[in-house]
Amino acid sequence: MTKIACTLLVDDDETANYLNESLFRRLDATEQLLVARNGLEALTLINRNCPGRDCPTLILLDINMPVMSGFEFLEAYSQLELGQRQSTVIIMLSTSQNPRDMEKLRQAGIAGFINKPLTKKALEEILAEHFEQD
Amino acid sequence: MSETSSSPHNLLGVFNSLPAAFLLLSPELMIEAVSDTYLEATLTRRESLIGCPVFEAFPDNPQAPQAQGVNNLRASLEQVMTTGKPHEMARQHYDVPDPEVPSQFVERHWLPLNTPVLDEQGQIQHIIHQVINVTEHVQAEKLLQASQVREQAARADAEQRQQQQLHNQTEKLQSAQRQVKQRDTLYQIFEQTPAAICINRGPEHRYTYINDAYQQLFPNRQLLGRPVAEALPESVSDGFVALLDHVYRSGETYFGYDRPLKIKQADGRVDQELYFTFTYQAYWEEGQVVGISTFAYDVTEQVLARRQYEARQQQLRDLFEQAPVAIAVFRGSEYVVEVANPLVAALWGRTPDQVLGKPLLEALPEVRDQGFRELLDEVVQTGKAFVAREVEATLQRQDRLEKVFLDFVYQPLRDEEGLITSVVAVAVEVSEQVNARREIEESQRQLTLANKQLTRANVDLDNFIYTASHDLKAPILNIEGLIEVLLDQLPPESLQLTGVERTIEHITGSVQRFKRTIEHLTEITKLQKENSPEASEVNLARVIAEVQLDLAPDIRAAQAEVTVEVAACPTVRFPEKNLRSVIYNLLSNAIKYRSPERAPLVRIHCHETAGYQVLTVADNGLGMDLSRRGKLFNMFTRLHDHVEGSGIGLYMVRKIVENAGGKIDVQSKMGEGSAFSVHFPPNS
């Protein structure tokens, strides 16, 4: 199984981050795991790390967060230079079933959406779909 | 008197009894025979006349020197003797001796005719002297003349006294004669006038003259010579005699207008009612009222016509008075209130007396600036009626200004020449209706407002549920994840400890139930949002088959038998997703609430009735106490607690069906089973 170079978890829920982190660890799915507590932190981190070795190739993005929500982050992210965006895969991860959110997700131009919680099966599917090396 | 032959004797008998006054004279003017009528007229007896010379028997009356009876008769008789031809004399004053009083005469006036009787040789044998007694006529005439003479004399007298002039008797007589002539002329004119004229004399008002028109008023009544009260008894009861009495006493002229006189028949029954316009004018003789002249017009037709007109007017007035609408007529440029029925007055908060005859703006000063006058001006100017609905007006009623609403029509009224002289207003007050409608509109507005608030509250509630479910979901998912991590981290032997496995089972069970509840809440909010998804023709059998597939593990586990008979409804018009949800819930309920005493049997069938397609899901399960059915379809109601359930399913089913215009009902018996029937809305 391939390993992700750098994964960024963006969630204000520390328990969720803790659980996801332990899942990644158990599956040994990523070289590097970064955590941001909201969209703004994530944006700062990307600005600092990208492009570069520590630039995340997978971002698991929560929707509802203080300071900067997932959607606001996506908006800001789309304004970044192409070089900073590279080939980053962004997956939305949320408990929200609000139809308004679903509609926005469809228009957000992201790689995928996963209902919380992130399960072993879902993570394996992400790896298979986006990070399988032929 | 010869009695020598029977023939002359017989002839004499005939002559004597002729029904006229005759004398038979000899050529010597001796009286040879006389008729009984002549004897009667001359107050004589036959034996004193026969054989007597005629002028001896009838000498002149020395007290009437103006009468020339003897001379005139002698001349006439001599003429007849000479000419042998008859001679008709003018009227003669020729008095006869009074047989009662010697040397006194009785006045007589005659119309004589003298006729010769000739023999074969043309010789005069006899003269027949025939007379007609006109004494009464002449006396009546003289009476009238005398009174006229007296009257004239009186007047002349008065004049004379005034002018201090003397006139001799001859002049008086001449004047009187002229007057008489004038009178005659006047009477002639009177006879021809259409006015009814009469003259009554004396305090009894005796008729002394009536013209033809007067007599025509009272045909078949003898008037002349009779007092009014006697000739026309009705004139007493109807007050005419009293009026005559007054005029006679006072000498004042009386003018009567349209005065009624009820003509009665002999039996006292009123035959007809006549109306007169008349004058009673006293006439005087020697300073005394001696009579009354009457000029009268029969105005019965005019009075009746006017009465009829007035009756019609009254009818119109009654109509106005009693009309169930308010009616007023405004006349002239100031719109004077000419007609105002009680309803219009009530509408104006006034009495008819307070407004009648006043200009509109004087009668209702408060309407000055409310545009009514301008409307009236426009109606008069254009000649077109103005129809208004629910016009607001402020009127002074019982000392306070009241706002009213009126439906009214202003209709111009034209005179004979087509000019608009007035405007009729017909109005109905509709304040109550308008106010009632405004109240309804207000309550509708409030209802709409309440609805908006409710809708907003619903949206808020939805958002709340989303937020809440999201916020609840995250921690429970975390707990679930953490338990998994914990189980991974704990040493395997610790899991073998007594009770730990059961505790873990309960924890995971609780977490699962928590998650399901949140799922259902989310489902409900989804339902509210998607309450009118697109309906389409859905293949019922296919949807049922798909649901059966979804529920296959449960069906198998329960060893349930499911039969499907929906050929009667190949398709139903319904949002497919919702249809699936309905069938899913009903079928899963049927299996979930099975009876432990028998093998579960679920029958799904469909039939069409009264425009509805009815899909029934019937089971032989536990059944329910339907006295609590009212709650069955409510949210979070659970009639059974021995199996998992959130109390959401049937609520959702009902919600889906009713939102789509359908309905759902249930039949159930404890211990026998339940049957839920969904009535799909009629295909349209």
For the stretch B60-76, pLDDT in tens is 888 877 878 888 888 88
Min distance A98 CA to chain B CA atoms (Å): 6
Q: Residues B647-663: what's their mean pLDDT?
A: 81
Distance of alpha carbon B130 from alpha carbon B42, whole angstroms = 12
Written as six digits, the tokens of B45 are: 């007896």
What ipTM did this prediction achieve?
A: 0.71
Mutation choice for A interface testing from B470, B480, B482, B508 by most A CBs within 10 A: B470
Written as six digits, the tokens of B631 are: 């709650």
Is B166 or B264 the better-scoring residue by pLDDT? B264
Distance of alpha carbon B604 from alpha carbon B459, whole angstroms = 37
Model pLDDT, residue B1: 43
Min distance A19 CA to chain B CA atoms (Å): 7
> SS3 sequence, B34-75?
ECHHHHHHHCCCHHHHCCCEHHHHCCCCCCCCCCCHHHHHHH
- Which residues from chain A sit within 8 angstroms of residue B470, using beta carbons? 64, 94-98
Which of A22, A98, A116 is opposite residue B477, by nearest beta carbon? Answer: A116
Distance of alpha carbon B589 from alpha carbon B562, whole angstroms = 13
Q: How do strand B326-331 and strand B336-340 relate by DSSP bridges?
A: antiparallel
Q: Is the pLDDT of residue B6 over 50?
A: no
Q: Is the pLDDT of residue B490 over 80?
A: yes
Q: How far, CA to CA in Å, does B647 sit from each of B578, B638, B681? A: 18, 5, 25
- Which residues from chain B sit within 8 angstroms of residue A13, using beta carbons? 474, 478
From the list B80, B89, B68, the residue with the least C-alpha distance to B25 is B80
pTM reported for the whole predicted model: 0.38
Distance of alpha carbon B153 from alpha carbon B177, whole angstroms = 11
Distance of alpha carbon B334 from alpha carbon B356, whole angstroms = 13
3-state secondary structure of B532: coil
Mutation choice for B interface testing from A21, A92, A98, A104 by most B CBs within 10 A: A98
Task: Give the pLDDT confidence of B285-335 residue by residue, as tens digits.
Answer: 888 899 998 888 888 888 888 888 888 888 877 887 788 888 899 999 899
3-state secondary structure of B456: helix
In B459-478, the residues whose Cβ lies within 8 Å of chain A are 466, 469-470, 473-475, 477-478
Q: Provide the sign of the torsion angle of the four alpha carbons B212, B213, B219, B220, taken in this order.
A: negative
Q: Do A99 and B529 touch (CB under 8 A)?
A: yes
3-state secondary structure of B488: helix
Contact of A64 with chain B, judged by CB distance below 8 Å, is answered with yes
Model pLDDT, residue B529: 61
Written as six digits, the tokens of B234 are: 């009705």
B383: left (phi over 0), alpha (psi -120 to 50) or beta: left
Task: Give the pLDDT confidence of B589-635 residue by residue, as tens digits.
Answer: 899 889 989 999 999 999 988 778 999 999 999 888 777 655 666 65
Model pLDDT, residue B530: 57
From the list B29, B30, B125, B129, the residue with the least C-alpha distance to B84 is B125
Min distance B474 CA to chain A CA atoms (Å): 6
- Which residues from chain A sit within 8 angstroms of residue B474, using beta carbons? 13, 16, 95, 116
Contact of B522 with chain A, judged by CB distance below 8 Å, is answered with yes
Is A54 or B183 the better-scoring residue by pLDDT? A54
- Amino acid of residue A63: I
Minimum mean pLDDT range among A98-102, B315-319, B444-448, B500-504: A98-102
> SS3 sequence, B417-453?
CCCEEEEEEEEEECHHHHHHHHHHHHHHHHHHHHHHH
From the list B543, B512, B471, B486, the residue with the least C-alpha distance to B644 is B512
Percent of chain B with pLDDT over 70: 88
Model pLDDT, residue B637: 60
> Taking the CB of residue B223, how many other CB atoms lie within 10 A of it?
20
Assess whether the previous peptide bond of A117 is cis (omega < 30° from 0): yes
Q: Residues A97-114: what's their mean pLDDT?
A: 75
Is B252 or B158 the better-scoring residue by pLDDT? B252
Contact of A95 with chain B, judged by CB distance below 8 Å, is answered with yes
Q: Answer yes or no: are the C-beta atoms of A95 and B473 closer than 8 Å.
A: yes
Q: Do A19 and B481 touch (CB under 8 A)?
A: yes
Q: Answer yes or no: are the C-beta atoms of B388 and B425 closer than 8 Å.
A: no
